[in-house]
Amino acid sequence: MLLEIAVFAPLLGTILAVLLRASGSRAGAVWSSVALMAVSALAAVAVLVRHLVAHVAMHDVALGAWIHVGHFVTPWSLREDTLSLVVVVMVSVVSALIHLYSVGYMAHDRTMPRFFVYISAFTFAMLMLVTANNLLQLFFGWEGVGLFSYLLIGYWYDRASANAAAIKAFVMNRVGDLAFLIGIVLIYAQFGSVSFNQIFAAVPQMVSHHYSLFGDAMPVLDVIGVLLFIGAMGKSAQIFLHTWLADAMEGPTPISALIHAATMVAAGVYMIVRMSPLISSAPGAMAMIAVIGGFTALFAGTIGCVQNDIKRIIAYSTCSQLGYMFLGAGVGADQAAIFHMVTHAMFKALLFLAAGSVIHALADEQDVRKMGGLWRKMKITYVTMLIGALALAAIPPFAGYYSKDAILAAAFANHSGPALFGWVCGVLGAGLTAFYISRLMILTFHGAPRGDADVHAHAHESGWTMLVPLLVLALGASFGGMLLDRPFVGAGNAAFWGSSIVPPANLVLQLSVPVPAWVADLPLLLALVGFGVAYVFYVIRPSMPVALAKAMPGAYRFLLNKWYFDELYDSVFVQPSKRLARVIWRGADDQVIDGVPTGLARWTTDFSLQMGRAQNGSLAVYSFVMLLGLLVLLSLFLVVR
């Protein structure tokens, strides 16, 4: 019952908020959704504790039938195992904190209840995704979170840029979703089922099967794995399908924290981990995941170093951190991937909420070049954000250190080509991470205020609804890594995960394999270097970064323009589509396909119009045409007989 409460309380919150909003009770709508979200979080924690303490076996809570055609059988149900419950707790707790935060942050918004309707509904969709026991229900939640992401990015729809970003996010996600859905139906065609249990049970027999594609026989599991991963790339903003995430920062900041940092974008990682019994038997797909994940970790980090919008810096950081998670999944360290997902949810939500607190204080200013010197004005925000930054930069003993370390160590221990490539990218990325987050912290909080003096003078600490979530998340970012290290990836991990994550035999040991000391310390060393560089650049010699950008204008513009992905896609996909659409409509459809019948119609129209004149009444024309038709029919009839 607890799990049902955890999943359905947000849905009830949505419904109540809709009804109360319609009846005009603004506060009622807001607080009812906050309260039900709190209920959901409590129930989620309770069910996880019960699961761990009472050693409940993995089981499904059946809710009813969904699609039921031929062998295509999909139920509505909730899966209860360690993996799903860990993520349920993460989602519902972070969501509850962000609900509370939003009460303060959105207080001046005209349509505030609408905001709460959306985020409660989003949470429900996310929980349905996480608790699915079959691919189709997962896809239901998957598209559902995409929908609410779209609605929330475009929440301030009087801004043209928000509208454009919302559409971009939806369309780009759909590109990934198409691959995902084709992967699902391919699984159905090959395995005869879309339910996890049946798929996983049949994996050993499918290892040797091949599927012909591009005129070549490929291992079917690789084909499926790659399709699923393309879906995950769209949702988790990996390179090639990443451009929507930075634009998604058009949405209100709590949304950036909840959807575009902590939960929805992690859904891709969750799905890959959930499907790991299949994907770990697909070496081609594993290699691709490790390479793409590792490269995104580095690539997004390079962009994050030169951006000036506080939210966009954190957004590229999210992109990069998700890359680490995929690297973990791609080398078979699924536990480490989920570990990083959980710690990341805490420190990244914290960073976004703290950034929101800054933006709120500075009357919606988001450019770090116009900030500075804020630490005296908002000490709690400063300290909590500093904790988030340390956790992100993987400085011990903060949370990110444990989880990122586990991933990099596993990648090194794996020692295959793709894993080592990912490891190199990941280690370099660790240095960049420390650099860009220090740059952000220094520019925002230290030095002299560079923005409008009046705005700076009015900057103030936020209210309690916004500070409580910051403090709670700061606790998590401080101690989460330490506490969760043992059960998630340490000695207790096999007992903790039970049957929910079972890595293949050759990968089990990687987590416990001791890596050389220099390998273990290298990321930390590079992070410290990143700190040092940032300190030199932005505190000691502020002229240096400017001079550097002048010295290498090409490289600087390349990074500032985000590797020109937007421009590339615009000229390769967007503009040609628009042209093609015009050509099809005006050229092909109106001229060619329509030409012959139009000529015929014109002839008939002229003819009947003359008849119409002769008959002096439109109804007569119709009856005449009708008569004509009947005559043709009848004569044909007679001739043929």
Partner 1 sequence: MITLIAVAPILSLLIWLPVIGALIIFATGDASEASARSVRWVALWTSLVELVLALGLLAAFDPQRTGFQFVERLAWLPQAGVSYHLGVDGISLLFVVMSALLTPIAIVASWREPRRVRAYMAAFLLLEALTIGMFESLDFMLFYVFFEGVLLPMYLIIGVWGGEQRVRAAIRFFLFTLAGSLPMLLALVWMWHHAGTTDMVTLMHTPISASAQNWLFIAFLFAFGVKAAVWPLHSWLPDAYGEAPVAGTVMLAAVLSKMGSYGFLRFSLPMLPQATLYFAPLMLALGVIAIIYLSFAAFAQTDMKRMIAYSSAAHMGMIVVGIFTLTVEGIEGALFQMISHGLVIAALFLCVGVLLARGQSRLLEHLGGLAVRMPVFATFLMIFVLANVGLPGTSGFVGEVLILAGAIKVNFWLALLAGSGMILSVMFMLVLVRRVLFDQSRSSVALAPPDVGAGEWLMLAPLAMLVLVLGIHPDALTVPFDRAVHGLVQQTGGVLAMKADLHHRMLAMVSR
Q: Cβ(461)–Cβ(377) under 8 Å?
A: yes
Q: Rule CB under 8 A: is residue 160 a binding residue for partner 1?
A: yes
Among 593, 614, 627, 631, interactor with partner 1 by CB under 8 A: 593
CB of 496 to partner 1, least distance (A): 32
Rg (CA), the chain: 28
Which sign, positive or negative, has the C-alpha torsion 50, 54, 58, 62? negative
Q: What phi, psi does 23 have (nearest 5°)?
A: -85, 5
Q: Rule CB under 8 A: is residue 171 a binding residue for partner 1?
A: yes
Among 604, 617, 627, 631, interactor with partner 1 by CB under 8 A: 604
Collect all residues with Cβ–Cβ distance below 8 Å to 277 and sequence separation of at least 6: 199, 200, 203, 502
CB of 6 to partner 1, least distance (A): 20
Distance from C-alpha of 319 to C-alpha of 271, rounded to nearest angstrom = 17
Q: Rule CB under 8 A: is residue 421 a binding residue for partner 1?
A: no
- Please say which residue, 171 or 529, places its beta carbon nearer to partner 1: 171
Among 105, 140, 423, 488, interactor with partner 1 by CB under 8 A: 140
Beta carbons within 10 angstroms of residue 631's beta carbon:
10
- Please say which residue, 125 or 466, places its beta carbon nearer to partner 1: 125
- Please say which residue, 50 or 114, places its beta carbon nearer to partner 1: 114
Burial 533-559 (b: 16+ CB within 10 A, else e): bbeebbeeeeeebeeeeeeeeeeeeeb
Window of 152-160, 312-320, 338-346, 479-487 that interacts with partner 1 by CB under 8 A = 152-160
Window 209 to 268, contacts with partner 1 (CB under 8 A) = 211, 213, 215
Cα of 614 vs its chain's centroid, Å: 69
Q: Is 254 exposed, middle or buried (0-12, 13-18, 19+ CB in 10 A)?
A: buried
Q: Rule CB under 8 A: is residue 577 a binding residue for partner 1?
A: yes
Which residues face 61 on adjacent strands?
78
- Please say which residue, 453 or 619, places its beta carbon nearer to partner 1: 619
Burial 346-358 (b: 16+ CB within 10 A, else e): bbbbbbbbbbbbb
- Please say which residue, 76 or 565, places its beta carbon nearer to partner 1: 76
Among 67, 107, 539, 631, interactor with partner 1 by CB under 8 A: 67
Beta carbons within 10 angstroms of residue 311's beta carbon:
24
Q: Rule CB under 8 A: is residue 69 a binding residue for partner 1?
A: yes
Binding mask 523-562 for partner 1 (x = CB under 8 A): ----------------------------------------
Binding mask 9-48 for partner 1 (x = CB under 8 A): ----------------------------------------
Cα of 587 vs its chain's centroid, Å: 40
Q: Rule CB under 8 A: is residue 417 a binding residue for partner 1?
A: no
Window of 41-49, 82-90, 154-162, 472-480 that interacts with partner 1 by CB under 8 A = 154-162
Among 144, 372, 476, 480, interactor with partner 1 by CB under 8 A: 144
- Please say which residue, 308 or 577, places its beta carbon nearer to partner 1: 577
Q: Rule CB under 8 A: is residue 521 a binding residue for partner 1?
A: no
Proportion of the chain in helix, strand, coil states, percent, rounded to 5: 80, 5, 15
Among 31, 66, 240, 558, interactor with partner 1 by CB under 8 A: 66
Distance from C-alpha of 104 to C-alpha of 112, rounded to nearest angstrom = 11
- Please say which residue, 504 or 629, places its beta carbon nearer to partner 1: 629
Window of 247-255, 373-381, 429-437, 602-610 that interacts with partner 1 by CB under 8 A = 602-610
Q: Rule CB under 8 A: is residue 616 a binding residue for partner 1?
A: no
DSSP state of 593: I
Q: Tokens 């409580």, residue?
A: 468
Q: How many residues bind partner 1 (CB under 8 A)?
A: 70
Cα of 107 vs its chain's centroid, Å: 26
Beta carbons within 10 angstroms of residue 513's beta carbon:
12
Distance from C-alpha of 9 to C-alpha of 2, rounded to nearest angstrom = 10
- Please say which residue, 448 or 640, places its beta carbon nearer to partner 1: 640
CB of 174 to partner 1, least distance (A): 5
- Please say which residue, 101 or 188, places its beta carbon nearer to partner 1: 188
CB of 459 to partner 1, least distance (A): 32
Closest residue by Cα to residue 11 from 118, 121, 92, 97: 121
Among 57, 157, 504, 564, interactor with partner 1 by CB under 8 A: 157
Among 2, 5, 45, 175, interactor with partner 1 by CB under 8 A: 175
Distance from C-alpha of 18 to C-alpha of 266, rounded to nearest angstrom = 28
Collect all residues with Cβ–Cβ distance below 8 Å to 63 and sequence separation of at least 6: 4, 75, 76, 77, 78
- Please say which residue, 376 or 641, places its beta carbon nearer to partner 1: 641
Amino acid, single-letter form, for residue 72: F
Distance from C-alpha of 231 to C-alpha of 180, rounded to nearest angstrom = 5
- Please say which residue, 464 or 585, places its beta carbon nearer to partner 1: 585
Give the footprint of partner 1 on this chain (CB under 8 A): 64-70, 72, 76, 136, 139-140, 143-144, 147, 150, 154, 157-158, 160, 163, 166-167, 170-171, 174-175, 177-178, 181-182, 184-186, 188-189, 211, 213, 215, 577-578, 580-582, 584-586, 588-589, 593-594, 597-598, 600-601, 604-605, 608, 618-619, 622, 625-626, 629, 632-633, 636-637, 640-641
